[in-house]
Amino acid sequence: MTMPFYVSPEQLMKDRADFARKGIARGRSVVVVAYDAGILFVAENPSRALHKISEIYDRIAFAAVGRYNEFENLRIAGVRYADLRGYSYDRRDVTARGLANAFAQTLGAVFSGQGEKPFEVELVVAEVGDGAETDQLYRLTYDGSVGDEHGWVAMGGQAEHVGEVLAARYRDGLTLTEALALAVDALGHDNGEDRALPPEQLEVAVLDRHRPRRKFRRLAGPLLGRLLGGGPAGQHDGDADDDAEAQG
Protein backbone atom coordinates (compact mmCIF):
# COMPACT_ATOMS: atom_id res chain seq x y z
CA MET A 1 0.00 0.00 0.00
CA THR A 2 1.38 3.41 -0.99
CA MET A 3 1.71 5.87 1.85
CA PRO A 4 0.17 9.33 1.18
CA PHE A 5 2.61 12.18 0.64
CA TYR A 6 2.62 14.52 3.66
CA VAL A 7 3.97 18.05 4.04
CA SER A 8 3.68 19.85 7.36
CA PRO A 9 1.66 23.10 7.37
CA GLU A 10 4.77 25.02 8.44
CA GLN A 11 6.80 23.69 5.50
CA LEU A 12 3.94 24.32 3.08
CA MET A 13 3.62 27.97 4.15
CA LYS A 14 7.39 28.41 3.98
CA ASP A 15 7.50 27.01 0.44
CA ARG A 16 4.66 29.26 -0.68
CA ALA A 17 6.33 32.31 0.87
CA ASP A 18 9.68 31.48 -0.79
CA PHE A 19 7.93 31.06 -4.14
CA ALA A 20 6.22 34.46 -3.86
CA ARG A 21 9.37 36.26 -2.68
CA LYS A 22 11.45 34.88 -5.56
CA GLY A 23 8.85 36.01 -8.09
CA ILE A 24 8.73 39.52 -6.63
CA ALA A 25 12.54 39.82 -6.48
CA ARG A 26 12.86 39.23 -10.23
CA GLY A 27 11.28 42.62 -10.98
CA ARG A 28 12.61 46.14 -10.65
CA SER A 29 12.02 48.12 -7.47
CA VAL A 30 9.42 50.80 -6.78
CA VAL A 31 10.00 53.67 -4.34
CA VAL A 32 7.35 55.76 -2.58
CA VAL A 33 8.54 58.91 -0.79
CA ALA A 34 6.60 61.52 1.18
CA TYR A 35 7.53 65.12 0.38
CA ASP A 36 6.33 68.52 1.59
CA ALA A 37 3.36 68.78 -0.82
CA GLY A 38 2.31 65.15 -1.07
CA ILE A 39 3.53 61.67 -1.94
CA LEU A 40 5.91 60.71 -4.77
CA PHE A 41 5.96 57.37 -6.63
CA VAL A 42 8.94 56.32 -8.76
CA ALA A 43 9.41 53.02 -10.61
CA GLU A 44 12.03 51.81 -13.03
CA ASN A 45 9.67 51.01 -15.88
CA PRO A 46 10.44 51.77 -19.55
CA SER A 47 6.95 50.71 -20.68
CA ARG A 48 4.47 53.50 -21.39
CA ALA A 49 1.50 51.11 -21.58
CA LEU A 50 1.95 48.79 -18.58
CA HIS A 51 1.87 50.92 -15.45
CA LYS A 52 3.17 49.99 -12.01
CA ILE A 53 1.69 53.21 -10.56
CA SER A 54 -1.97 54.14 -10.92
CA GLU A 55 -4.74 56.30 -9.53
CA ILE A 56 -7.42 54.54 -7.49
CA TYR A 57 -9.61 57.46 -6.35
CA ASP A 58 -9.57 61.23 -5.84
CA ARG A 59 -6.69 61.28 -3.33
CA ILE A 60 -5.60 57.62 -3.35
CA ALA A 61 -2.98 55.91 -5.50
CA PHE A 62 -1.57 52.43 -5.89
CA ALA A 63 1.92 51.13 -6.69
CA ALA A 64 2.90 47.51 -7.20
CA VAL A 65 5.72 45.14 -8.09
CA GLY A 66 5.62 41.53 -9.22
CA ARG A 67 3.41 39.84 -11.80
CA TYR A 68 1.62 42.45 -13.86
CA ASN A 69 -1.57 40.45 -14.51
CA GLU A 70 -1.99 39.75 -10.80
CA PHE A 71 -1.53 43.26 -9.49
CA GLU A 72 -3.57 44.69 -12.38
CA ASN A 73 -6.51 42.50 -11.34
CA LEU A 74 -6.11 43.81 -7.80
CA ARG A 75 -5.99 47.40 -9.04
CA ILE A 76 -9.20 46.96 -11.04
CA ALA A 77 -10.90 45.41 -8.01
CA GLY A 78 -9.72 48.37 -5.92
CA VAL A 79 -11.15 50.89 -8.38
CA ARG A 80 -14.50 49.06 -8.35
CA TYR A 81 -14.49 48.95 -4.54
CA ALA A 82 -13.77 52.68 -4.34
CA ASP A 83 -16.37 53.65 -6.93
CA LEU A 84 -19.08 51.53 -5.32
CA ARG A 85 -18.36 52.78 -1.81
CA GLY A 86 -18.16 56.41 -2.92
CA TYR A 87 -21.42 56.12 -4.83
CA SER A 88 -23.28 54.22 -2.07
CA TYR A 89 -22.10 56.38 0.83
CA ASP A 90 -19.87 59.41 0.40
CA ARG A 91 -16.60 60.08 -1.39
CA ARG A 92 -14.99 60.78 1.99
CA ASP A 93 -15.78 57.20 3.03
CA VAL A 94 -13.28 55.87 0.49
CA THR A 95 -9.99 55.60 2.38
CA ALA A 96 -6.59 54.01 1.85
CA ARG A 97 -7.08 52.01 5.03
CA GLY A 98 -10.32 50.50 3.71
CA LEU A 99 -8.67 49.63 0.40
CA ALA A 100 -5.65 48.13 2.16
CA ASN A 101 -7.93 45.94 4.26
CA ALA A 102 -9.79 44.76 1.15
CA PHE A 103 -6.55 43.93 -0.66
CA ALA A 104 -5.21 42.17 2.46
CA GLN A 105 -8.26 39.89 2.63
CA THR A 106 -7.81 38.86 -1.00
CA LEU A 107 -4.05 38.29 -0.72
CA GLY A 108 -4.41 36.40 2.56
CA ALA A 109 -7.16 34.13 1.24
CA VAL A 110 -5.14 33.23 -1.85
CA PHE A 111 -1.93 32.67 0.12
CA SER A 112 -3.54 30.33 2.65
CA GLY A 113 -5.68 28.49 0.07
CA GLN A 114 -4.68 25.07 -1.24
CA GLY A 115 -6.09 25.27 -4.75
CA GLU A 116 -3.90 27.97 -6.31
CA LYS A 117 -0.47 29.51 -6.07
CA PRO A 118 0.08 32.67 -3.99
CA PHE A 119 0.12 36.06 -5.70
CA GLU A 120 3.64 37.17 -6.62
CA VAL A 121 2.96 40.81 -5.78
CA GLU A 122 3.74 43.52 -3.27
CA LEU A 123 1.64 46.69 -3.04
CA VAL A 124 1.55 50.18 -1.61
CA VAL A 125 -1.73 52.03 -1.12
CA ALA A 126 -1.24 55.73 -0.36
CA GLU A 127 -3.62 58.54 0.54
CA VAL A 128 -2.67 62.20 0.64
CA GLY A 129 -4.24 64.33 3.35
CA ASP A 130 -4.65 68.04 3.96
CA GLY A 131 -1.30 68.06 5.76
CA ALA A 132 1.76 65.82 5.96
CA GLU A 133 0.64 64.51 9.34
CA THR A 134 -2.51 63.01 7.78
CA ASP A 135 -0.83 61.29 4.82
CA GLN A 136 -1.18 57.49 4.86
CA LEU A 137 1.12 54.80 3.45
CA TYR A 138 0.20 51.11 3.66
CA ARG A 139 2.46 48.34 2.41
CA LEU A 140 0.93 44.93 1.64
CA THR A 141 2.88 41.74 1.07
CA TYR A 142 1.98 38.56 -0.81
CA ASP A 143 0.50 36.90 2.31
CA GLY A 144 -1.90 39.74 3.14
CA SER A 145 0.24 41.35 5.86
CA VAL A 146 -0.28 45.12 6.15
CA GLY A 147 2.28 47.61 7.38
CA ASP A 148 1.61 51.25 8.25
CA GLU A 149 4.68 52.99 6.85
CA HIS A 150 6.04 56.50 7.43
CA GLY A 151 8.22 58.63 5.17
CA TRP A 152 9.20 56.13 2.51
CA VAL A 153 8.71 52.61 1.17
CA ALA A 154 10.96 50.49 -1.09
CA MET A 155 9.68 47.21 -2.49
CA GLY A 156 10.49 44.62 -5.13
CA GLY A 157 13.80 43.79 -6.76
CA GLN A 158 16.72 44.52 -4.45
CA ALA A 159 14.63 46.53 -2.01
CA GLU A 160 17.17 46.12 0.80
CA HIS A 161 19.84 48.07 -1.12
CA VAL A 162 17.31 50.72 -2.14
CA GLY A 163 16.03 51.01 1.42
CA GLU A 164 19.53 51.55 2.79
CA VAL A 165 19.95 54.67 0.63
CA LEU A 166 16.52 56.00 1.60
CA ALA A 167 17.05 55.33 5.32
CA ALA A 168 20.37 57.15 5.28
CA ARG A 169 19.25 60.25 3.38
CA TYR A 170 15.51 60.72 3.88
CA ARG A 171 14.27 63.60 6.03
CA ASP A 172 10.92 65.25 6.62
CA GLY A 173 10.02 68.26 4.49
CA LEU A 174 11.78 67.31 1.24
CA THR A 175 10.75 69.31 -1.81
CA LEU A 176 9.50 67.44 -4.88
CA THR A 177 12.83 67.96 -6.66
CA GLU A 178 14.78 66.68 -3.65
CA ALA A 179 12.50 63.68 -3.15
CA LEU A 180 12.70 62.77 -6.85
CA ALA A 181 16.51 62.99 -6.86
CA LEU A 182 16.67 60.80 -3.75
CA ALA A 183 14.25 58.20 -5.18
CA VAL A 184 16.05 57.96 -8.52
CA ASP A 185 19.44 57.70 -6.82
CA ALA A 186 18.12 54.96 -4.52
CA LEU A 187 16.72 52.99 -7.47
CA GLY A 188 20.11 53.27 -9.15
CA HIS A 189 21.64 51.38 -6.19
CA ASP A 190 19.30 48.38 -6.39
CA ASN A 191 22.12 46.01 -7.39
CA GLY A 192 24.73 47.51 -5.10
CA GLU A 193 26.21 49.56 -7.94
CA ASP A 194 25.67 53.18 -8.94
CA ARG A 195 23.55 53.36 -12.11
CA ALA A 196 22.26 56.50 -13.81
CA LEU A 197 18.58 56.13 -14.75
CA PRO A 198 17.44 58.36 -17.66
CA PRO A 199 13.91 59.84 -17.62
CA GLU A 200 12.68 57.46 -20.34
CA GLN A 201 13.39 54.51 -18.03
CA LEU A 202 11.24 55.92 -15.24
CA GLU A 203 7.55 55.95 -14.37
CA VAL A 204 6.85 58.85 -12.01
CA ALA A 205 3.66 60.16 -10.42
CA VAL A 206 2.59 62.19 -7.41
CA LEU A 207 -0.35 62.70 -5.11
CA ASP A 208 -0.27 66.51 -4.86
CA ARG A 209 -2.30 67.83 -1.92
CA HIS A 210 -2.55 71.29 -3.53
CA ARG A 211 -4.50 70.13 -6.58
CA PRO A 212 -8.26 70.91 -6.43
CA ARG A 213 -9.87 67.44 -6.32
CA ARG A 214 -8.05 64.73 -8.24
CA LYS A 215 -4.69 64.69 -6.51
CA PHE A 216 -3.01 62.16 -8.80
CA ARG A 217 -0.68 63.45 -11.48
CA ARG A 218 1.80 61.71 -13.77
CA LEU A 219 5.18 63.36 -14.39
CA ALA A 220 6.74 62.63 -17.78
CA GLY A 221 8.43 64.19 -20.79
CA PRO A 222 10.00 67.66 -20.53
CA LEU A 223 8.52 68.26 -17.07
CA LEU A 224 10.21 65.16 -15.66
CA GLY A 225 13.46 66.14 -17.36
CA ARG A 226 13.37 69.57 -15.74
CA LEU A 227 12.63 68.12 -12.31
CA LEU A 228 15.50 65.65 -12.61
CA GLY A 229 17.70 68.57 -13.59
CA GLY A 230 16.67 70.45 -10.47
CA GLY A 231 14.17 72.80 -12.16
CA PRO A 232 10.71 73.82 -10.92
CA ALA A 233 7.34 72.49 -12.09
CA GLY A 234 5.10 75.29 -13.32
CA GLN A 235 1.33 75.57 -13.57
CA HIS A 236 1.46 75.17 -17.35
CA ASP A 237 3.20 71.83 -16.91
CA GLY A 238 0.42 70.66 -14.67
CA ASP A 239 -2.25 71.67 -17.19
CA ALA A 240 -0.50 69.80 -19.96
CA ASP A 241 -0.21 66.71 -17.82
CA ASP A 242 -3.91 66.85 -17.01
CA ASP A 243 -4.59 66.63 -20.74
CA ALA A 244 -2.41 63.53 -20.94
CA GLU A 245 -4.31 61.98 -18.00
CA ALA A 246 -7.64 62.65 -19.70
CA GLN A 247 -6.41 60.71 -22.73
CA GLY A 248 -5.53 57.73 -20.55
**Size of the chain in residues:** 248
In order, the DSSP letters of 17-68 are HHHHHHHHHTSPPEEEEEETTEEEEEEE---SSS-SEEEEETTEEEEEEE-H
Tens digits of per-residue pLDDT, 33-65? 999 999 999 999 988 889 999 999 999 999 999
Any idea where the domains of the chain sit in the sequence?
Answer: 26-242
**In the sheet where 30-35 sits, what is the strand order?**
152-155, 30-35, 38-44, 202-208, 216-219
CATH number belonging to domain 26-242: 3.60.20.10
pLDDT at 211: 94
Tens digits of per-residue pLDDT, 155-206? 987 888 899 999 999 999 999 999 999 999 999 886 666 788 889 999 999 9
pLDDT greater than 80 at residue 73: yes
Q: Taking the mean position of all CA atoms in its chain, how far away is CA 47?
A: 16
pLDDT-based confidence at 231, cuts 50/70/90? low
- Which pTM was predicted? 0.88
Q: How far apart are CA 174 and CA 162, in angstroms?
A: 18
Q: How far apart are CA 207 and CA 201, in angstroms?
A: 21
Within 10 Å of residue 198's Cβ, how many Cβ atoms?
10
pLDDT at 9: 78
* Dihedral in degrees, nearest 10, Cα atoms 81, 96, 100, 93: -50
Lowest mean pLDDT, pick from 110-119, 124-133, 141-150: 110-119
- Phi/psi at 40 (5° precision): -110, 140
Mean pLDDT of 100-127: 93
